[in-house]
Amino acid sequence: MRNVMFSLLTFLALAVAAPALAAEERPPPLNCEAGPAKKTYGGNPWPVYACDDGRSAVVVADQGNPAMPLYFIFYVKPDGAVRLYGEGTGAKSATQPAFDDLSKLDQAAVAALVAEARAAKAGP
């Protein structure tokens, strides 16, 4: 099941970022398997997985979260610009507060999320 989730996260990271960006802004293929760091946004649980570019992260609606199925991806461009994308069909009453919380995160906050997710993977 965990491998299925990782494959899904890798696919989702590519599916969200690629269509939304111009060709010159598209991220390289991302593998987002490190983690998860257990976080709460908009009052609901959102596991965070770090991507292998060392800058980007995927935030996924957890079991019991009324935003499910939905995910967000932070793509941090090499120049440091942060892009936030989301896709899913979860309840707007749960997705909007999470989006509002995530929208406030800057490059340093996303870097902290990536580090936390990587540390969670290294844990027991």
Q: What is d(CA 66, CA 35) in angstroms, rounded to the nearest whole number?
A: 22
Q: What is d(CA 87, CA 111) in angstroms, rounded to the nearest whole number?
A: 22
Residue 57, pLDDT score: 96
Residue 23, pLDDT score: 46
Residue 123, pLDDT score: 61
- Tell me the pLDDT tens digit for each residue of 38-83: 999 999 999 999 999 999 999 999 999 999 999 999 999 888 899 9
List, in order, residues 6 or more apart from 63 with CB less than 8 Å away: 45
User: What pTM did the predictor assign?
Assistant: 0.78
Q: What is d(CA 74, CA 79) in angstroms, rounded to the nearest whole number?
A: 14
**H or E segment at 112?**
helix 107-122
* Residue 20 in this model has a pLDDT that exceeds 90: no
pLDDT band at 107 (very low <50, low <70, confident <90, very high): very high
